[in-house]
Amino acid sequence: MAPRRATRRRKPQAPYGAAHARARQELLAAFRDGQRCPRCGKPMRAWQKLDAGHVIPRMLGGGLGPLRLEHARCNRAAGARLGNAARSKRAQVAGMKAAAARKARSAKW
């Protein structure tokens, strides 16, 4: 058997692109240690992981809108809550559609 070649690991791409990365760097440059997180209200410290969060979530149409610096944990938790709520809502709609289809099929008989 031939030895396996080592594969090069690529750097992960920024999920929002270069403009988002630039905006994040600008926010970090203007950051003062001890500023309050807009999500949780606790102070943000330079040693903590900080994200550039959207004021209006992308899922709700705030794609290229204003950004603010937030704790990474707060930002990601808010995104997860919003995604879970959307999935739940889609599941409810799918369930209602399935129930309506069952009712329509049973009405035919």
Q: Considering the domain boundaries, does residue 11 fall inside one?
A: no
- To which residue do tokens 């709700």 refer? 60
Q: Considering the domain boundaries, does residue 6 fall inside one?
A: no
Q: Could you tell me how many helices (H) and strands (E) the chain has, helices first?
A: 2, 2
Q: Considering the domain boundaries, does residue 73 fall inside one?
A: yes
H or E segment at 71?
strand 67-71
Q: Please check the confidence at residue 10 and state whether its pLDDT lies above 70.
A: no
Residues 6 or more apart whose CB falls under 8 angstroms from that of 21 comprise 14
Q: Considering the domain boundaries, does residue 88 fall inside one?
A: yes
Containing structural domain, residue 86: 18-108
* Number of folded domains that form the chain: 1
Averaged pLDDT for residues 72-92: 87
Q: Where are the beta strands (DSSP E) in 21-103?
A: 50-54, 67-71
DSSP structure class, residue 61: T
> What pLDDT, on a 0 to 100 scale, did the predictor assign at position 35?
93
Q: Considering the domain boundaries, does residue 10 fall inside one?
A: no
Greater model confidence, 58 or 67: 67
Q: Considering the domain boundaries, does residue 9 fall inside one?
A: no
